[in-house]
Structures are given as structure tokens and as C-alpha cells.
Amino acid sequence: MARFRLAQPARVDLAAILETSQERWGELGRRRYTSLLTAALRLVAADPESPLTRDRADLAPGVRSLHVKHASDHGAVHAPVHVLYFRIARPGMLEILRVLHERVEPSVPLHARRAKRRPGRR
């Protein structure tokens, strides 16, 4: 099983996804989606080139994706709507680039989205 690291944009994506889950479905919904996302991360780490993943060379060389519905655990999350975008950084190490809603066109936001800076901070 490969290890993985989360790129900063993926960390931001995950925080926003879980915050939204908390707001819409409460603590239980947030925990269920956290479990699903964790299962998806483990799934790509176990087999990054699994038939469940897609080659996304159209976005950038080496990029692959996995819809989190493939990691679904018997209906705990009714309709998962996110896609993991990742690449093999080096043998045994994956980089999770983004976690985007399935309706988001990944060609533009695949790269780092700049975080809003507070005045006076650099």
C-alpha cells in the first residue's frame, strides 16, 4: 500500500467539504462523509491504477481520479458527490491534488487555489 500526502489545495477542499457536511447533515453526516473520504483515500493508496480510477492525462501528465462513490460503505452516505484527483509522486507515494464536487470542471482548479489572505499578512 502506498502512502499519500495531501497537497494544500486538497486540505482546503476537505475542510470545506466536511464543514458543509456538518452544516447540512449535522455531526453524524460529517462523520459518515469523513469515513467515506478516508475509505476513498485508502482505496487509491492500495491500488492507484485500479480499474475504479481514471487516467486524467487530459488535465496533466500522471493525474488520475477516483469518484468517492466507489468507496461507498453500504449506503452510509446516500449519494457521494466528490472526486479525488491524485498523482503518483514517486514509487510508494501518492499526492492527493484536489477533492472536488463532481460538477466542478477540474481543468482549471486542479492547481492550487490561492487562499484569501488577511490584511497585513504575507
- CATH class of residue range 3-101: alpha beta
Count CA within 13 A, CB hemisphere, residue 21: 24
Q: Which residue has the higher pLDDT, 78 or 112?
A: 78
Give the CA angle between residues 111, 8, 17 to the nearest 5°.
90
**Which residue type sits at 15?**
A
Q: pLDDT-derived band of residue 78, with 50, 70 and 90 as boundaries? A: confident
Q: Is the pLDDT of residue 116 over 50?
A: no
Q: What is the pTM of this model?
A: 0.85
- What pLDDT is stored for residue 118 in this prediction? 43
Is 30 a residue whose pLDDT tops 70? yes
Higher pLDDT, 52 or 75: 52
Q: How far apart are CA 74 and CA 10, in angstroms?
A: 25
Checking if the pLDDT of 76 tops 80, the result is no
* Residue for grid cell 477533492: 99
Tell me the C-alpha distance between 58 and 101, whole Å.
18
Question: What pLDDT does 113 receive?
Answer: 44
3-state secondary structure of 79: coil
Percent of the chain surpassing pLDDT 90: 75
